[in-house]
Amino acid sequence: MIIYIVEDTLYCAYHGKLISVALKSCILKGFIINKDVFMHEFSAMLKKEKIKNKLFGDNISFIDNGYFSVGDLFFIESIFLDLGFIKVNFLNIRELFPEAKATYIEINNSYLVLYLDKTLYLDLTYFNDIPKVLGLFKSYFDKDIALFGVNKCIPKVYINDVNIYYIENYRDYITQSLLKVKE
């Protein structure tokens, strides 16, 4: 089982099936904000989808978006251990990118993530002009930029003197990639 969070939605890849659940009450801008509600909702999702844990627990994998701090990862691990999983594996989102020679930028409705040498998370509440924000960082980009995420405006993003591409299935590229990951 592989878990990925984007915006307020949890995606779960399990045995070739992709399950998505909107969890507005416990996930905000890609972060779990309420542990108890998340655990309840996650358990309800498992029950609804008829996913059963083994008697002595299973391993679970969680996509580390790169912007999580060590404290965030510890918090996430504690949630899944409390849910009865015996081990939480963190998979780096960069392993799902098809080309290493490009800069990847995830643009969602409420935040964007720049995957540079270090990962940079920007809340779009404060940085709402996406092309202008990206223009400020263009000296850090590789020759090519690949855009993905759930924001509908991705195909309209343009920056002078920068080759910008968007992944064909940009809205669900990562979630579809989860189905290809070996658990």
pLDDT tens-digit series, residues 163-174: 888 776 666 777
Residue 38 three-state SS: helix
Element (H, E) at 82: helix 70-82
> Going from the N-terminus, what domains does the chain have, and what CATH number goes with each?
2-93+174-178 (3.30.420.40), 99-166 (3.30.420)
Cβ-proximal residues to 102 (8 Å cutoff; 6+ apart), any chain: 142, 143, 144, 145, 146, 165
pLDDT tens-digit series, residues 108-147: 999 999 999 899 999 999 888 888 898 889 888 888 888 8
Lay out the sheet containing 87-92: strands in order across: 17-22, 9-14, 2-6, 59-64, 87-92
Closest CA to 175 of 45, 39, 9: 9
Highest mean pLDDT among 12-26, 55-69, 93-107: 12-26
Q: Which two tokens stand for residue 112?
A: 């964007």
What's the Rg (C-alpha) of the chain? 17
Question: How many CA atoms does the CB half-sphere of 162 hold within 13 Å?
Answer: 24
- Compute how many other C-beta atoms are within 10 angstroms of the C-beta atom of residue 66: 18
Global pTM reads 0.86
- Does the pLDDT of residue 183 top 60, yes or no? no
Measured distance CA(162)–CA(130) in Å, rounded: 14
